[in-house]
Amino acid sequence: MLQVSEGCPLYPMRSHNEILPGDKRSRQNAGRLDKIMRRVGNLWETLLSFENLYRAWKRAFASTKSPESCSFSFHLEKELFTLQEELAGQTYIPGDYRCFTISDPKKRVISVAPFRDRVVHHALVQVLEPIYEKRFIYHSYATRKGKGSHKAIEQARQYLKKNKWYLKIDIPKYFDSINHSVLKWILERQIKDPHILDLCSRIIAKGGGGQCGLPIGNLTSQFWANVYLDNFDHFIKEQLRVKGCLRYMDDFCFFSGDKDSLFLE
C-alpha cells in the first residue's frame, strides 16, 4: 500500500510548463501541456442553461426510481426552474446526505445526496468533464466514458504479455484522505469561473469531516477523485517516464521486465 500523510499533496509539485535541467521532454510536448492547462472561464451560463439541467435530470433519474426522484420528475419543469433560480442567485445550498454501510467485501459508508442535489452534480460534471478529458492520461480507467474495469483488465493483460513482473499499490482510505484545500487549489489551476468554483466549494464542504474527505456515492466525488490524482499520473508518465502503468481510481499497476526496477526507494 502507498501510505499517504493526511492533508499532504500526493505528488511532487512543479509548474506544468517548467523544464528542468536534464529533462528530456521536448518543447513541443511542453507547449501541448501548456495549452491543455490554460484556465477555462465563462462556464456558468452553460451550467445554468435549461438544456444542461434537463440533461442532468435525465442522467440522475436513469439511475434511480425512488419516491423522491419520482416526485421531482412529476413537477419537473417547476423543480428545474427552482434549481436554476437558486444557482443563478447564489442561494443554492446542498442538502444533507443519507448514509448507510455496505460490505463489498470491505466495509464502506455510502452517502446518498438528495435527488435535487444529484441533478446539480450531473449538471456540474457535464460542464467540467470535457475540460478534464483533454488532460487525463489515456491509461486512467475509472469512471470515464469508454474506459472502465474491463478495459483496465484487458490493458493489464496486454502489459503482462510483454512484462514478467508487476507492482500493485493503492492509497488506503483514499476518499477519506482527499484534502479539501488541495482539491480546490487543483480545480483553480484549470478553472477560472468564480461561480463554478464557488459551487464546487459548497459541494466539497458538505462532504467528509473537517478539511478532508469526499463522500463515497457522489458523482462529483468520483470525478474529483480522478482529478486529484491527475498531476501524479502526469508525473509518472512524463517525468519518471514509466511506460507500463495504469490507474483505476486509487489502484495503480506498474509493469516491467526487470523486477528491481519496480522497487520503491
pLDDT for 36 equals 54
Determine contact, residues 175/212, Cβ cutoff 8 Å: no
Whether 8 has a pLDDT exceeding 80, the answer reads: no
Nearest to 152 by CA among 143, 140, 161, 137: 140
- What is the distance between the alpha carbons of residues 153 and 149, in angstroms, rounded to a whole number? 6
Residue 33 neighbours by CB under 8 Å, 6+ apart: 16, 17, 234, 238
Chain segment 208-220, per-residue pLDDT in tens: 667 999 999 899 9
Indicate the pTM of the whole model: 0.82
Mean pLDDT, the chain, integer: 85
**Grid coordinates of 45:** 451560463
